[in-house]
Amino acid sequence: MPQHTILITDSGEGFPCAEDQSVLHGMSRLGRKGIPQGCYGGGCGVCKIQVLSGRYHTRKMSRDQVTAEEEQAGYALACRTFADDDLTLRVVGKLHKALTR
């Protein structure tokens, strides 16, 4: 399975992520304590990100957490986001707090 590099602009960190892994799963390899894991089902919203560049696809996410307008602007939940190419992203909310301390 091809791997892509995911760059987090907020922390300057990058990590590899296979196409069949969610971005959140790949992010857990950073070894950072306190990365919120949440439900892994797209319902709780703790892993919200904004993809700034690169191709990706998502699985079903709660509209309470990511509106259609936000999705059009590149917002998604890391647990439901899969890289089709190298990605550059920023982290939002609880995930931002965990990765920028």
Q: What is the predicted pLDDT for the residue at 99?
A: 73
Q: Are 75 and 66 in contact (CB under 8 A)?
A: yes
Q: Could you tell me the CATH number of the domain that includes residue 30?
A: 3.10.20.30
The model's pTM: 0.89
| Three-state SS sequence of the chain | CCEEEEEECCCCEEEEEECCCCHHHHHHHHCCCCCCCCCCCCCCCCCEEEEEECCEEECCCCCCCCCHHHHHCCEEEHHHEEECCCEEEEECHHHHHHHCC
Q: What is the predicted pLDDT for the residue at 33?
A: 66
Q: What is the predicted pLDDT for the residue at 29?
A: 82
Q: What is the predicted pLDDT for the residue at 34?
A: 63
| Domain ranges, residue 12 | 3-99
For residues 3 and 82, give the distance between their C-alpha atoms in angstroms, rounded to a whole number: 11
Q: What is the mean pLDDT of each run of 10 residues along the chain (101 residues)?
A: 92 93 90 73 89 97 95 96 97 77 67
Counting the structural domains of the chain, the total is 1
